[in-house]
Protein backbone atom coordinates (compact mmCIF):
# COMPACT_ATOMS: atom_id res chain seq x y z
CA UNK A 1 0.00 0.00 0.00
CA UNK A 2 1.35 3.41 -0.93
CA UNK A 3 1.57 6.06 1.74
CA UNK A 4 1.03 9.78 1.12
CA UNK A 5 3.29 12.60 2.31
CA UNK A 6 3.42 16.39 2.02
CA UNK A 7 6.21 18.93 2.50
CA UNK A 8 5.73 20.42 5.97
CA UNK A 9 8.64 22.88 6.01
CA UNK A 10 11.80 23.74 4.15
CA UNK A 11 14.61 25.74 5.73
CA UNK A 12 16.13 27.29 2.62
CA UNK A 13 13.09 27.95 0.39
CA UNK A 14 10.24 30.18 1.64
CA UNK A 15 6.64 29.17 0.92
CA UNK A 16 7.48 25.67 -0.33
CA UNK A 17 4.94 23.79 1.80
CA UNK A 18 2.40 21.46 0.25
CA UNK A 19 2.43 19.00 -2.59
CA UNK A 20 1.48 15.35 -2.51
CA UNK A 21 4.14 12.66 -2.80
CA UNK A 22 3.51 8.93 -2.56
CA UNK A 23 5.70 5.97 -1.79
CA UNK A 24 5.81 2.69 0.07
CA UNK A 25 8.40 4.14 2.46
CA UNK A 26 9.06 7.76 3.50
CA UNK A 27 12.45 7.96 1.75
CA UNK A 28 10.82 7.13 -1.59
CA UNK A 29 8.44 10.08 -1.22
CA UNK A 30 11.34 12.26 0.02
CA UNK A 31 13.27 11.62 -3.21
CA UNK A 32 10.27 12.83 -5.22
CA UNK A 33 9.80 15.86 -2.97
CA UNK A 34 13.52 16.73 -3.10
CA UNK A 35 13.51 16.70 -6.88
CA UNK A 36 10.43 18.96 -6.91
CA UNK A 37 12.15 21.41 -4.53
CA UNK A 38 15.16 21.65 -6.84
CA UNK A 39 12.80 22.62 -9.66
CA UNK A 40 11.63 25.55 -7.48
CA UNK A 41 15.20 26.57 -6.55
CA UNK A 42 17.51 25.33 -9.33
CA UNK A 43 20.58 27.28 -8.11
CA UNK A 44 20.64 25.54 -4.71
CA UNK A 45 22.93 22.55 -4.21
CA UNK A 46 21.55 21.33 -0.88
CA UNK A 47 18.08 21.59 0.66
CA UNK A 48 16.89 20.47 4.11
CA UNK A 49 13.16 19.75 4.37
CA UNK A 50 10.56 17.93 6.46
CA UNK A 51 7.75 15.76 5.11
CA UNK A 52 4.67 14.70 7.07
CA UNK A 53 2.63 11.58 6.48
CA UNK A 54 -0.93 12.28 5.32
CA UNK A 55 -2.17 8.69 4.90
CA UNK A 56 -5.57 8.04 6.43
CA UNK A 57 -5.38 6.34 9.86
CA UNK A 58 -1.63 7.07 10.14
CA UNK A 59 0.03 8.77 13.10
CA UNK A 60 1.01 11.80 10.90
CA UNK A 61 4.70 11.38 11.76
CA UNK A 62 7.26 13.86 10.41
CA UNK A 63 10.54 12.91 8.69
CA UNK A 64 13.46 15.28 8.00
CA UNK A 65 15.78 14.87 5.02
CA UNK A 66 18.66 16.62 3.28
CA UNK A 67 18.59 16.54 -0.51
CA UNK A 68 21.78 17.18 -2.49
CA UNK A 69 22.05 17.93 -6.19
CA UNK A 70 25.17 16.36 -7.77
CA UNK A 71 26.29 17.05 -11.33
CA UNK A 72 27.16 13.87 -13.23
CA UNK A 73 30.63 13.71 -14.79
CA UNK A 74 29.10 12.21 -17.91
CA UNK A 75 25.41 12.93 -18.70
CA UNK A 76 23.12 9.91 -19.08
CA UNK A 77 20.99 9.67 -22.21
CA UNK A 78 17.69 7.82 -21.87
CA UNK A 79 15.68 6.99 -24.98
CA UNK A 80 11.91 6.58 -24.75
CA UNK A 81 10.33 5.94 -28.10
CA UNK A 82 11.51 8.69 -30.45
CA UNK A 83 12.51 11.07 -27.66
CA UNK A 84 15.96 11.27 -26.06
CA UNK A 85 16.22 12.63 -22.50
CA UNK A 86 19.56 13.87 -21.17
CA UNK A 87 20.05 13.55 -17.41
CA UNK A 88 22.72 15.95 -16.09
CA UNK A 89 22.16 15.75 -12.32
CA UNK A 90 21.63 13.10 -9.67
CA UNK A 91 19.58 13.83 -6.55
CA UNK A 92 20.72 12.22 -3.31
CA UNK A 93 18.41 12.21 -0.27
CA UNK A 94 19.63 11.37 3.22
CA UNK A 95 17.65 11.18 6.46
CA UNK A 96 18.55 13.65 9.23
CA UNK A 97 18.39 12.82 12.90
Residue 14 has pLDDT above 90, yes or no: no
Higher pLDDT, 28 or 17: 28
The C-alpha atoms of residue 4 and residue 88 are separated, in whole angstroms, by 28
Tell me what pLDDT residue 13 has: 86
What single string gives the DSSP state of each residue in 38-96? HHH-TT-SEEEEEEEE--TTS---EEEEEEEEEEEEEEEEEEETTEEEEEEEEEEEEE-
Q: What is the pTM of this model?
A: 0.86
Q: What are phi and psi of 3, to 5 degrees?
A: -105, 155
What is the average pLDDT across 23-46? 93
Amino acid sequence: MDRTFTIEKCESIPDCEGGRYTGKIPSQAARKAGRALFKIAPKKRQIRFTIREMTQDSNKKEFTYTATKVKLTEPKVIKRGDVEITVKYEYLVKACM
